[in-house]
Structure formats: C-alpha cells, structure tokens
C-alpha cells in the first residue's frame, strides 16, 4: 500500500476500541488527535494539504466499518490533479447536499496547497460561513462544503464506485432497510444480516459508532 492513511480522532467521542479496530484494518495508519493552530475539530484535516508528502494520502473518519475487499477502496488509484472521495449521503439544512464526503478523501498534498492557503487566509470566515448562511448547522461544520467549492476550482473530482460505499445505523427499522436497498446502487445493500459483497466501507452515524456496532455488523471477504 503506497498511500499514506491519516485517521482523524479529535476529542473523546470515540473509545480506544474504535481506534484499535481501525489499526487492525489499515496498516500503518497515522492518527491526528490534537487541534493545531486554532483549527476546529474536523477542519484540522486541512493541515495535511500543507505537508511535504510527495505521494497520495488518504484521510478518513473513524466512524466507518471496513468490510469485504475494502483495501480496493484504500488503494483506489488517482493521478496528479485528481481528488478522490465518496459521494456524501446526508443532507443539511433545507435538503442542501454536498457531493463530497468528508470521511474519505484522497489526494496529492502538493495539488491541494491552494486549498489550505485559502482557508488560512480567512479561517474564521470559512469556519462560520456555511453555518451562518444556513447551509449546515453548528457548532462546528461545513468543511465538506468548503472542500467541494475549492476542489472544483482546480482539481478533477473523482468518486469511488457508488456500490462500494454506503451509510448505516445501528437500530435499523424495516422502513430504513427498504430505503437502503432502494437507494443503493446495486441489487441490494443489506439483507439477512449481510452487506452486499460489493460494499467495502459502511459509514455510520458518528455518535453511535462503537465496539458493539463493530461486533454486530463486521464481516470479512
């Protein structure tokens, strides 16, 4: 695996069990645990765009389950000038949706230095802009909208195949299951206690991801 992987874990929302799980699935992952230079929470992922790493890097959130042949997603190839992500599955205020998922972003840092520079030049403005305009809600949010806006200026936005990435929640109702299987880009998403073999990453609601979910839903190829 040539891609350097960075996992964002700032604050005490997740237990050590979640970190141990990520370490067991992705070799040599580097952890970002502290806020730096006044950046708030998830905005700290932008620091990597100011790094001197020459090859591609991948930043991930840790409220995700890695299943089946998930390394195909980790190792998904990109060229210089491309920015890889997964399509987001949530909608914020008034149904406004970013097409860029903040939990999975792969790029060459040199290509993205201009994004870091723009954010630093108006940090307080950008940290508050998407909240003040009602596009999303606070207290800290909006980085995925900022990233989508900035990536579109110079880079080619590239997505993982839709069938590889899906959302999930712990207490899934029959109605939820119908919705999942309806909107999934494939024949079915989750049936009989199993995910479709095409699914490689399952993104959970951030406040509920823990070892109970890992034990309940984890499956291997």
Tell me what pLDDT residue 122 has: 97
Is pLDDT of 50 > 90?
yes
Query: Mean of the pLDDT values across residues 160-179?
Result: 83
Q: Could you tell me the domains of the chain?
A: 4-161 (3.90.550)
Q: Is 53 helix (H, G, I), strand (E, B) or coil?
A: coil
Distance between CA atoms of residues 23 and 91, nearest Å: 30
Tell me what pLDDT residue 81 has: 98
Buried b (16+ CB within 10 A) or exposed e, 152-168: eeebeebbbeebbbbbb
Tell me what pLDDT residue 157 has: 94
Is pLDDT of 115 > 80?
yes
* Residue scoring higher pLDDT (182 or 134): 134
Tell me what pLDDT residue 201 has: 94
Is pLDDT of 2 > 90?
no
Is pLDDT of 96 > 70?
no
Tokens of 157: 């936005």
Lowest model confidence (mean pLDDT) among 50-54, 105-109, 122-126, 200-204: 200-204
Backbone conformation region of residue 156, classed left if phi is above 0, alpha if psi is from -120 to 50, else beta: beta
pLDDT band at 147 (very low <50, low <70, confident <90, very high): very high
Lowest model confidence (mean pLDDT) among 77-86, 90-99, 182-191: 90-99
Distance between CA atoms of residues 27 and 25, nearest Å: 7
* Reported pTM: 0.90
Tell me what pLDDT residue 1 has: 62
């Amino acid at each position: 695996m040539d891609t350097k992987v960075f996992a964002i874990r700032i604050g005490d929302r997740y237990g050590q069990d979640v970190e141990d799980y990520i370490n067991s699935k992705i070799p040599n992952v580097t952890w970002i645990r502290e806020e730096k230079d006044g950046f708030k929470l998830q905005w700290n992922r932008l620091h990597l765009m100011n790094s001197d790493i020459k090859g591609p890097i991948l930043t991930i959130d840790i409220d995700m389950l890695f299943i089946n042949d998930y390394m195909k997603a980790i190792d998904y190839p990109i060229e210089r000038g491309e920015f890889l992500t997964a399509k987001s599955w949530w909608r914020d205020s008034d149904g406004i949706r970013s097409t860029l998922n903040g939990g999975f972003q792969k790029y060459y840092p040199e290509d993205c230095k201009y994004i870091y520079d723009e954010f630093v030049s108006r940090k307080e403005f950008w940290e508050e802009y998407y909240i003040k305009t009602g596009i999303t809600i606070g207290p800290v949010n909006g980085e995925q909208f900022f990233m989508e806006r900035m990536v579109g200026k110079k880079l080619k936005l590239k997505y993982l195949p839709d069938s590889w990435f899906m959302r999930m929640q712990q207490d899934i109702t029959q109605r939820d299951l119908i919705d999942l299987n309806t909107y999934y880009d494939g024949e079915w998403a989750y049936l009989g206690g199993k995910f479709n073999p095409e699914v490689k990453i399952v993104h959970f609601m951030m406040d509920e991801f823990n070892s109970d979910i890992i034990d309940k839903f984890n499956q291997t190829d």
